[in-house]
Amino acid sequence: MQITDADAEPFGLFAVTPIGLALISALLLYLVLFGRFILPAGQKEKGANGPLSKTLQRTYHDIGNFFELHIPSSFAGPKTLMDLEIRAYYFTTVIAVAPKGGTKNFAPDTDTVLRGGDTIAVEGPPELVKKLAAACGWEIKDDLAVFAEDLSPNNAGIMEAIISPRSEMARNTLRSFAFRKKYGVNPLAVRRGNKTFVGGISDIILQSGDALLLQGRWDKFHFLKEQLDLVFTEEVQGEIRQTDKLKYAIGCMLLSLVLILGFEVQLSIALLTGALAMILSNVITIDEAYESMDWMTVFLLGGMIPLAIAFERTGAAKLIAETIMAGLGPVSPLLLLTALGILTSFFTLVVSNIGTTVLMVPLAMHMAVSCDADPRLAALVVAIACSNNFILPTHPVNSLVMQPGGYSSMDYFKAGSGISALFLLVMLATISLFYGS
């Protein structure tokens, strides 16, 4: 029996919503109950407390350590940063200030006033930061709290920039140039030749070719790289957030949903219409849309889909399905779905989830037909089980957090084994309950 598009009624947009809600609820409950036993504490990579690249770590050995300090109400203030002379005495830079009940300042200048109840973020050598806290009576927090999100690698970082020959900064000091106020980033060090200066850098007369080590938010760096003053030695990370375009982006998304739900437009056409609307409303440009494309995925699909079609039309999928079913003997539909879920979960650990889906769906549907099960449910099991990748850091999302968290493959195995088993159990139970088998 050949399976055609007419044989299987397509699922609706929200057909898998019960399964998704069940999976989210079960996994959250599992982590709440057992998270403290299975989740690693995560040891940060040495030198990764401040987000310097490995290249910069080799040049600026002791720079890049962030600390958060709380100023108690008993502090004999108010005092300005100039009054305290923190950099001069402790080679430590105040990179952000959170006034009690006020707005955070991420590039405080020397006139910034500190008062009791404020919280500050600093960068400096650990031993000198401890001396600073002891001398001023401030409390060093165990980890970043107030500034945890603001100083995360997603939002901020440390970059090295070279003063260009056309820069107005040459033959000026950082103080006279009002560098922090103008660009909103914090200078941490100046490197000239083989020497690195940390203390007193605000009064150093700068020269073309000097390297500045800067800390700040990515949006500030993106603005700074468009100027003629500095040339960055590494690619600026992060993205520029255009909040003024938010309403247009939401409108384009709603347009796609209305086309799908209200007019039953094909999903791909509706989403393409929304994407085109974003370009026409100038939410993104053609170039930005082109750069956002994951061409590896595009070419992977371009190669895998014809392979899957050939797999189906040549009868290879049917032959493999019949061979497997002959070896298994008579099985119930539920047992077949369980076997498909386990097999798909295994393949997606070593093959991309996209490739696994494209290859496994026709095979699963033929196996379902062979044992009188619903081929639509077999395809659904494969599609969902392809996301069951928690045991190894092979999934792009898993690998994304591996280095920042300092996790090992064993950490993923320990935490992911139970999650993967629960994923399969809940998925199969929900499918049996809502769709039958």
Reported as a single tens digit per residue, the pLDDT across 202-231 is 999 999 999 999 999 999 999 999 888 999
Output 91 or 14, whichever has higher pLDDT.
91
pLDDT tens digits for range 55-112 = 898 899 889 899 999 999 999 879 999 999 999 999 999 999 999 888 999 999 999 9
The whole-chain average pLDDT of the chain stands at: 87
User: Which whole-number Å values give the CA distances from 133 to 147, 198, 346, 397, in the listed order?
Assistant: 18, 19, 52, 38
Residue range 22-47: mean pLDDT, rounded:
80
Q: Which of 21, 135, 20, 166 is nearest to 69 (CA)?
A: 135
pLDDT tens digits for range 152-190 = 888 899 999 999 998 999 999 999 999 999 999 999 999
Output 192 or 51, whichever has higher pLDDT.
192
Q: What is the CA radius of gyration of the chain?
A: 28
**Peptide bond preceding 18 in cis form (omega within 30 of 0):** no
State the sign of the Cα–Cα–Cα–Cα dihedral 105, 111, 113, 119: positive
Task: Burial-class residue 54 by CB neighbours within 10 Å (0-12, 13-18, 19+).
Answer: exposed
Q: Mention every residue, 6+ apart, whose C-beta is less than 8 A from residue 118.
A: 70, 71, 97, 98, 99, 100
Of the ranges 153-157, 192-196, 311-315, which one carries the lowest mean pLDDT score?
311-315
Percent of the chain exceeding pLDDT 70 equals: 92
* CA–CA dist 201, 189 (Å, integer): 7
Token pair belonging to 250: 């939401």
> Where residue 3 falls among pLDDT bands split at 50, 70, 90?
low
Output 321 or 291, whichever has higher pLDDT.
291
- Residues 365 and 375 sit within 8 Å (Cβ to Cβ): yes
Q: Indicate the SS3 state at residue 190.
A: strand
Q: What is the pLDDT, as a whole number, of residue 300? A: 62
Percent of the chain exceeding pLDDT 90 equals: 54
Dihedrals φ, ψ of 60, to 5°? -110, 85
* CA–CA dist 214, 156 (Å, integer): 11
pLDDT at 17 over 80: yes
Per-state percent for the chain, helix, strand, coil, to nearest 5: 50, 10, 40
Instruction: Record the pTM.
Output: 0.63
Instruction: Give the CA count within 13 Å in the CB-facing half-sphere of 338.
Output: 11
Q: What is the pLDDT, as a whole number, of residue 47? A: 38
Of the ranges 90-99, 113-122, 294-303, 420-429, which one carries the lowest mean pLDDT score?
294-303
Q: What is the pLDDT, as a whole number, of residue 31? A: 92
Instruction: Give the CA count within 13 Å in the CB-facing half-sphere of 139.
Output: 15
Q: What is the pLDDT, as a whole number, of residue 209? A: 95
Q: Which of 153, 190, 184, 156 is nearest to 170 (CA)?
A: 190
